[in-house]
């Protein structure tokens, strides 16, 4: 059973960047995709993008194009999501998620990382 463990909470200034990690264990890292989903306080789920570690190919939601970069390090089974030009509206819990079976149906989730953007 794959498990995803994320890095800890972050507090950032507007205009800066944040990089959140997601370490996978218990499976073959390169064989599945890792997506990033965020949730602002009291709001719904928002998909940001995904990476296929075995190919190193990432896809992004149009809303985040140019501002988010998703990468993966196969040697450490870790995926990363970096969001730049942070603003207060980026305050949210950021989750990594992965399908164990059906592609892009997420049955495995990280514990979430709270990112607070505040001056």
Judged by the rule CB under 8 A, the positions of this chain that interact with other proteins are 35, 37, 44-47, 50, 59, 61-62, 95, 97, 101-107, 109-112
Nearest-angstrom CA–CA distance, 73 and 54: 10
CB of 64 to other proteins, least distance (A): 11
Q: Nearer to other proteins by C-beta: 17 or 111?
A: 111
d(CA 8, CA 29): 21
CB of 62 to other proteins, least distance (A): 6
Residues 4, 11: Cα–Cα separation, whole Å:
22
Contact 38, 49 (CB under 8 A): no
Q: How far is the CB of 101 from other proteins (least distance, A)?
A: 8
């Amino acid at each position: 059973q794959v498990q995803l463990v994320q890095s800890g909470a972050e507090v950032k200034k507007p205009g800066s960047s944040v990089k959140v990690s997601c370490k996978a264990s218990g499976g073959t890292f390169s064989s599945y995709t890792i997506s990033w989903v965020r949730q602002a306080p009291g709001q719904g789920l928002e998909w940001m993008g995904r990476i296929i570690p075995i190919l190193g190919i990432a896809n992004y939601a149009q809303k985040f194009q140019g501002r988010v970069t998703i990468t993966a390090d196969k040697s450490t089974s870790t995926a990363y999501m970096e969001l730049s030009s942070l603003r207060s509206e980026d305050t949210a819990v950021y989750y990594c998620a992965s399908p164990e079976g059906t592609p892009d149906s997420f049955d495995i989730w990280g514990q979430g990382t709270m990112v607070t953007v505040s001056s």
